[in-house]
Structure 1
Amino acid sequence: MESERNVALEAWMDEHQYSANGLAIAINAGLESLTGKVGTYDGRHIREWRSGRVRWPNTATRRVLSDLSGRSPVDLGFVPRGRTSPAAVPQEDSMHRRTLVTGAVSTAIAAAAPCAASTRKIGMSDVGRLQQKFTAVIASDHKHGGQRDIEQRAATLADTALNLQNSGTATQRVRSSLYASAASFRSSAMWAAIDGRRFKDALIHMREAQALAELSGDQAIKFRIWSHAGTLYRHMGRPTDARAANDVARNLHITRRDPMFASLGMARQMAIQGVSHELRSLPRTFGQAREAMSRASTDAYRPVWLLAFWDEAELHSLALSAYLAAGDWPTAEYHAHQCLASLRPHMQRSRAIATSRLAHAQLAQGDTDAATHTAMAVNAEAATQHPRVSRMLQEFGAALRATAPGSRNARAWTEHTAAWRTPA
């Protein structure tokens, strides 16, 4: 007997502009948030639901579907095991179900009509509007960094880009660009989670971003995601995984086509070498990154996320991170000063991070006066709102009290941080 199609699910997916692959990605994310395990659904599974071949998903999946849709599994057209049809559910649900299914059939028929709204043409102008929103996300990240609202906004825009795939007809170029836009937003959500030290959330965003990047075929966004993955694993204390992820980025052919990408890949490799205490490798890697940057054409097209941050100042910032992790305090201090002297004004988050690291390098050399003065220069918003900066300054305070207990600088630092906690 042929399975009866799940017209209720199809109607809901049409209403909310979900493709089979898009819904699978959303369910996988929900499952990982709910269970801690990565979901394994793909478009094929969703098509089996719609066709009626799979009539009752497992408990966790039903919960994710309910959370995602605001409807019960039965309202979505699924049939509990042991029942032959949706009509077998309790009587009090029958009228609502008949109304829903009738409406779903009407929606499906309307969608098939030649003049249906869903046949509108999606073009590069739609992609352009998404890219403008992406530019705003990048600007917000460089100003504030690590904030949960940036992560959530980027994730929502990724879903918007993905759902647009199902809202009309488009050329392959436009569809690839929409996938690239979705991957870009998701990678920004990933970065915000990394910057906020929400590593579990970052891993979820990473896996979704990687899948979307593959669908797009866009080398630049693939590079960004794998390069961010290397940074994520580095912050998680997994240098072997960090190196492997960064190697994937560095081996993409875009690094051979554009030395600017090669430069960033080498610089992030340097940061990984730092946490691995490969001190002797750092000067050579820094030189390779700088040399690649010098070879990069000034008029080549590059994505906004790269143009917004990658320059000489950020190269010194990664060198600062590497030498600080490796324990070479004087060289770390040198790179900190070089970074701070050339940072662009909009890089407020980067300035707070570099200043905090400089304070650590100065304190490690025994210069408590300079270190305390430097740490106090971090603005209060970054010190209290940016998780990475907050943690570095907390560690600085503990190191200062251990180095110079009861000193004038220790007391000054205690008073300074108390002012942050005092309501205005």
Structure 2
Amino acid sequence: MLRPRSALLTSLDALMALDDTRGGHEGLERAALAGAAEALEKQKLRATQRIRLRLFSVAADYTATAAWSALDARQGDRAYALLGKALYLAGMAQDPVAEMRVWNSYAMLARQRGEHTEAVDSAQAAQATPITKRDPFFASLAHARAAIGHSDLGDRQAAIRSLGYAQEALEKAELEQPRPSWMAFYGPAELTAMTAIVRDRIGNPAEAEAASHKALGSIPLHFRRNRALATTRLALAQLHQRDVDQACATASGVFELMKGSPLPGRMRSLLGDYYRDLITLAPDAAVAREWGDRYRAAWRRD
């Protein structure tokens, strides 16, 4: 028997809560795809057009959740295929929120693949979705995503300008307004964490460090994966200022934050970036060798 639509939505919220704590993994992806299949099966039954559109929307959200899980696990090809399905379902649902979600994930996937021009293009596609005109909260996220893309391209002016747009939009948003659970991660704290990424990429590691500290002071504790990522970014900013001892101590905290759960692929990759910078900038430092010896197996483990 198919569950009622409200139960489907409740299960989707539960999956997003699991992602906040543990990050993307195969079990989450399988559960999300099962939810999408159930919603699509339900919409085949005789129902009103309004209900069918809503079920297409639920299926789009579940599929986008599966795509996000694959992205976070750094399974790029699978994420790309799932995002294509999610975008199709969002179109069938006539759902601009789901469409914006997919373009946001496309921007992240493009960055993961080193396709920085495409990342900016995807962020701009997110900006063009109708929901950003109705709700500046969504517009803020799209502008912040564009800022990261511009910083990766080395376009300092465009990156700072996009950060400004993101901040202006967020100041206009009603933060307490109900929104989908997948947007729960975003707000002033996450924008500050994204600002840290941009500042480090454009060569302002001291400002990146300050932003990371500020973000970690306000990212809710239950967003464990996001706090661990922000901690890694803090370590990178400290390292880029040649504060090697402090950077290694900070990076070690990531493993404590994620204790009891495997590191998601995206986090392992970022820690790999940290370690490569560490041995490049301080190849002879004893603390660098000790950090590598102690944590190499942990951050490489699947």
Q: TM-score, normalised by structure 2?
A: 0.92
Q: Deviations over 1:270-309 (max 9, x none)?
A: 1111111111233332222112111112453422221x21
SS in 1 for 2:46: coil
Q: 8 Å contact 2:57–2:95 — kept in the other structure?
A: yes
Query: Is 1:187 aligned to 2:64, yes or no?
Result: yes
How far the C-alpha of 1:403 sits from its partner, in A, is 2.7
Q: Determine the structure 1 residue equivalent to 2:251.
A: 375
How far the C-alpha of 1:262 sits from its partner, in A, is 1.0
Give the one of 203, 212, 224 matched to 1:327.
203
Q: 8 Å contact 1:127–1:174 — kept in the other structure?
A: no
Structure having greater relative contact order (Cα 8 Å, sep ≥ 6): 2
C-alpha change, 1:415 and 1:257, in structure 2 (3 Å) is: same
Q: Determine the structure 2 residue equivalent to 1:353.
A: 229
SS in 2 for 1:187: helix
How far the C-alpha of 1:411 sits from its partner, in A, is 3.6
Separation (CA, whole Å) in 2 of partners of 1:364 and 1:311? 27
Q: 8 Å contact 1:276–1:326 — kept in the other structure?
A: no
Q: Determine the structure 2 residue equivalent to 1:234.
A: 111
Separation (CA, whole Å) in 1 of partners of 2:8 and 2:152? 37
Deviates more, 1:332-341 or 1:277-286: 277-286
- 1:85-104, aligned counterparts within 5 Å? none
Q: Give the structure with the larger helix fraction.
A: 2
Deviates more, 1:172-181 or 1:274-283: 274-283
**Structure 1 counterpart of 2:92, one-letter code:** L
CA RMSD of aligned residues (A): 2.2
Percent identity for Structure 1 against Structure 2: 33
Give the one of 278, 289, 296 matched to 2:173.
296
Alignment size in residue pairs:
298
- 1:22-421, aligned counterparts within 5 Å? 126-166=4-44, 168-306=45-183, 308-380=184-256, 381=258, 385-417=263-295, 420=298
Q: TM-score, normalised by structure 1?
A: 0.66
How far the C-alpha of 1:160 sits from its partner, in A, is 1.3
C-alpha change, 1:384 and 1:412, in structure 2 (3 Å) is: farther
How far the C-alpha of 1:152 sits from its partner, in A, is 1.8
Separation (CA, whole Å) in 2 of partners of 1:298 and 1:312? 9
Is there any run of 5+ residues in structure 1 with no aligned partner, and where?
Answer: 1-116
**Structure 2 counterpart of 1:373, one-letter code:** A
Q: Deviations over 1:143-169 (max 9, x none)?
A: 111212212211121111111122x32
How far the C-alpha of 1:328 sits from its partner, in A, is 2.5
Q: Deviations over 1:58-108 (max 9, x none)?
A: xxxxxxxxxxxxxxxxxxxxxxxxxxxxxxxxxxxxxxxxxxxxxxxxxxx
How far the C-alpha of 1:226 sits from its partner, in A, is 1.3
Q: 8 Å contact 1:180–1:216 — kept in the other structure?
A: yes
